[in-house]
Every structure is written in structure tokens, then in C-alpha cells.
Amino acid sequence: MSEKPSNEPESENVRAIRQLVRLMKKYDVTAMDIGEGANKIRLRRGHGVAPAPPVNWPEAGWMAQPPNWNQPTIETRVPSSQPAAPAAPAAPTAPAGIVIESPMVGTFYASSSPDSPPFVSVGTQIRADSTVCVIEAMKVFTDIPAGVTGTITEVLVKNGQPVEYGQPMFRVNPS
């Protein structure tokens, strides 16, 4: 495999990934998932995690150096022509209801300020457009809508707790 000469400009995608890595280091972010359509990228930082090999990466020679364990790992997902395998059936002991998951990595806040009451609590009736919490990531606060109509039956995270992408935050009894 021939490596790209160093005098050629790097692709816009590589520059964007490098910028994301710098931001992850600067703000001490350990995980980031980004997607546009069927193209997705997952960045992870941490000790003891082996970097994932590149998938359909045009410049495959970039892995010629030994990995640095302090650098973020990069996983890329490319759409497959094969249908996804069916998901395993849910365990019969799982609690009933719909789960509202975190749409991003950040810090969970139950209210808009420390002096304000929580947006929702157990027993609160919500609509799909109701704000259920705020997640802060890199000094940006994002209101999280419920996305479902029903009653909050369980709050699964505590105020100020870090949350990961896809982490369950609330259980809702749909109506």
C-alpha cells in the first residue's frame, strides 16, 4: 500500500475528524457519536481500549504506526447491503413502558436551573413535545423533548449525572 505523499492536502473528512479529536481532548469528552443519513462515526477515548481497524478507509496506510492508547479510537460504520440480523427478544422480566433514551453524551439536568423545579417527576403527564430534561455537552445546554405521550413512571438518572448516547433516562407508561 502506498501512503499519500505528505504534500497533498488531507481530505475534508480527515480534517473534520482531527478537529473532533482535538475538541474531545480539550473538553475531556470520552465518547461521541455522529451520524448523517446512513453514514455514522463513533469516537471513543480511554485507556486500555484497542483502536478499531478502519472500515473502507481510503488511506489504509494510516495504521502503519503503533497505536497510542491515549488517543481516541475511531469506528466507522458503512451501510451494508445485507439486512440487519433480527434483534434478540426482550427478557420477560423487563419493566413495562417506553424508555426515553439520551440522544447525546453529556450531563443530565432535571431542571433549567438549580433553583427551578424538575421538568418532570414520577406521575407527571407528558406530551411528545414536553421537555423532560436538559443535557449539557461542551457548555451547550440542549432541551430534550419526550417524543412520547404518557405518564412518567420512573426516573432512571440523577441530577448532574453523566449520560451516554442511548442511555435510558425515563420510563413512560404511554397513553
- What residues contact residue 108 under an 8 Å CB cut-off, 6+ apart? 102, 133, 134, 135, 157, 158, 159, 160, 161, 162, 163, 169
- What residues contact residue 66 under an 8 Å CB cut-off, 6+ apart? none
- Per residue in 92-109, pLDDT (tens digit) is 555 678 999 999 999 999
Q: Where are the domains of the chain?
A: 12-77, 98-174
- Per residue in 13-66, pLDDT (tens digit) is 778 778 888 887 777 777 777 777 667 777 777 654 455 554 444 444 444 444
- What integer is the mean pLDDT of 140-144? 93
Q: Above pLDDT 70, what percent of the chain? A: 65
User: Helix or strand or coil: residue 22?
Assistant: helix
**In the CATH scheme, what is the code of domain 98-174?**
2.40.50.100
CA 105 distance to own-chain centroid: 5
